[in-house]
């Protein structure tokens, strides 16, 4: 990250952070030369992702049915607002890239990480999964695997730790990305 970007991020963090108790900044280490990108976690927000169309009163659900690869989510301001009747819904932490609080900079964690490997033995991969508490979900590409994060670390910290390893080309959270469909 350039010095100018760091200064802009610092200013935005100071302007947007209402309290040190409601936000926390994490650095996602990129694969290129150890550069990093800051993401600000809002502890008082979370996202609920709807997995089926039982919420038929929501107009956007019908539009999402046309595009099944997209996920529909709604932001909530507090965990106390969570409705426990919807057990098939999932929750994600809400992060803002560079601390900019708008829809185009909002990233929602899924509890999964995407890892791209150099050629690696199955035994070395199993040892890595055990050491970092990764649960295999599926093979995305011949050299890329999607894992569920079962460790104590959040998705950003886990990805940043994995990218430091010699057999890993890329490691990043499997975000719900900011996308404007409608």
The answer to whether position 100 is within a domain reads: yes
Segment (H or E) for 57 = none
Residue 10: the pLDDT is 56
As given in the structure block, the two tokens for residue 56 are: 């038929």
Average pLDDT over residues 2-16: 59
The answer to whether position 29 is within a domain reads: yes
Residue 82: the pLDDT is 43
The answer to whether position 178 is within a domain reads: no
The number of distinct structural domains making up the chain is 1
The answer to whether position 138 is within a domain reads: yes
Its domain, for residue 36, covers 3-173
Residue 177: the pLDDT is 76
The answer to whether position 92 is within a domain reads: yes
Residue 107 in this model has a pLDDT that exceeds 70: yes
Q: Is 46 helix (H, G, I), strand (E, B) or coil?
A: strand
- Alpha-carbon span 44 to 139, nearest angstrom: 34
The answer to whether position 179 is within a domain reads: no
Average pLDDT over residues 5-29: 67
Contacts of 93 (CB under 8 A, 6+ apart): 41, 42, 46, 47, 108, 109, 154
Residue 80: the pLDDT is 45
As given in the structure block, the two tokens for residue 100 are: 């900019």
Q: Are 156 and 27 in contact (CB under 8 A)?
A: yes
Q: Is 155 helix (H, G, I), strand (E, B) or coil?
A: helix
The residue assigned the tokens 């970092």 is 132
Residue of 46, 164, 176, 38 lying closest to 100 (CA atoms): 38
The answer to whether position 101 is within a domain reads: yes
The answer to whether position 181 is within a domain reads: no
Residue 103 in this model has a pLDDT that exceeds 50: yes
More confident of the two residues 110 and 178: 110
Residue 42: the pLDDT is 85
Segment (H or E) for 161 = helix 155-162
Residue 71 in this model has a pLDDT that exceeds 60: no
- Alpha-carbon span 13 to 5, nearest angstrom: 12
Average pLDDT over residues 109-116: 92
């Amino acid at each position: 990250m350039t010095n100018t970007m760091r200064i802009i991020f610092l200013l935005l963090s100071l302007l947007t952070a209402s309290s040190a108790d409601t936000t926390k900044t994490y650095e996602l280490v990129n694969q290129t030369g150890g550069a990093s990108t800051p993401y600000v976690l809002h502890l008082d927000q979370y996202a609920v992702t709807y997995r089926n169309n039982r919420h038929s009163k929501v107009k956007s659900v019908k539009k999402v049915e046309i595009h099944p690869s997209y996920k529909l989510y709604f932001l909530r301001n507090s965990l106390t607002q969570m409705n426990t009747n919807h057990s098939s819904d999932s929750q994600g932490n809400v992060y803002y890239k560079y601390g900019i609080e708008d829809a185009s900079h909002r990233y929602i964690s899924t509890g999964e990480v995407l890892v791209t490997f150099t050629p690696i033995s199955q035994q070395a991969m199993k040892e890595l999964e055990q050491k970092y508490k990764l649960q295999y979900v599926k093979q995305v590409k011949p050299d890329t695997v999607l894992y569920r994060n079962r460790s104590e670390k959040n998705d950003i910290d886990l990805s940043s730790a994995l990218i430091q390893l010699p057999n890993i080309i890329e490691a990043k959270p499997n975000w719900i990305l900011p996308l404007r469909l409608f």
